[in-house]
Chain A
Amino acid sequence: QQQVRQSSQSLTVWEGETAILNCSYENSAFDYFPWYQQFPGEGPALLIAIRSVSDKKEDGRFTIFFNKREKNLSLHIKDSQPGDSATYFCAASEGTNAYKVIFGKGTHLHVLP
């Protein structure tokens, strides 16, 4: 049973478009939601994260929209660039078990020039 689900395995957008990556979760106790970015041949790296007390977190071209009631969130990448082509993992953890992060299966984003 997947606790963190990413709706698309793969997503293709054109350069300059907004890429939207969707994620949903099951455990209402989750309170921290990081997104990791992974390039081929490298380990994942934290891109942006949001806590469940917020409904939006912005960092440059990257924005997380969070809906606690619906238990879903999305990562918006504005003005997508070919260099954004990577795999993006949605993840979640809860305060009492904060050491353990549950990862989604990842969405591979292709940005075409």
Chain B
Amino acid sequence: EAAVTQSPRNKVAVTGGKVTLSCNQTNNHNNMYWYRQDTGHGLRLIHYSYGAGSTEKGDIPDGYKASRPSQENFSLILELATPSQTSVYFCASGEGGREQYFGPGTRLTVL
């Protein structure tokens, strides 16, 4: 049974549109993360959260917002999507910063 799930798995959006990527975890972990993965760049941290109600900026937060309404849910929001945000997005959960458990990813294409 998958402990970190993401929706949608694939998304096509138009430039300037709003996109919300959702993540749910059943690990009961305090920490949750959003990464994007691009060829040649590996995994880059966008936002993270220590718990419900908290969000922190990662290494590449520009153009993204995050929301953590509960222990289980962490969303990534693109208010005005741009083609440069075309990527594969991964959500992860973890405790104590050691092992992180990743979801299956969301492939986002912004046209």
Q: Which residues of A line the B interface, CB within 8 A?
A: 9, 32, 34, 41-46, 49, 89, 93, 97-101, 103-106
Contacts and interface: CB of A to CB of B under 8 A. Distances in A.
B42 A103 contact: yes
A15 to B, nearest CB: 26
Contacts of A32: 98
Contacts of B4: 43
Interface of B: 4, 31, 40-45, 48, 50, 58, 90, 92, 94, 96-105
B103 A98 contact: no
Contacts of B50: 99
B97 A44 contact: no
Most buried by A among B40, B48, B98: B98
By secondary structure, the B interface counts as: strand
B54 to A, nearest CB: 11
Most buried by A among B41, B43, B103, B105: B43
B104 A43 contact: yes
Given A44-B43, A103-B42, A105-B41, A98 B96 contact: yes
B98 A42 contact: no
Contacts of A98: 96-98
A46 B43 contact: no
A32 B98 CA distance: 8
B40 A46 contact: no
A45 to B, nearest CB: 7
27 contacts: A32-B98, A34-B99, A41-B104, A42-B104, A43-B4, A43-B102, A43-B103, A43-B104, A43-B105, A44-B43, A45-B101, A45-B102, A46-B99, A49-B98, A49-B99, A93-B97, A98-B97, A98-B98, A99-B48, A99-B50, A100-B58, A101-B97, A101-B100, A104-B42, A105-B40, A105-B41, A105-B42
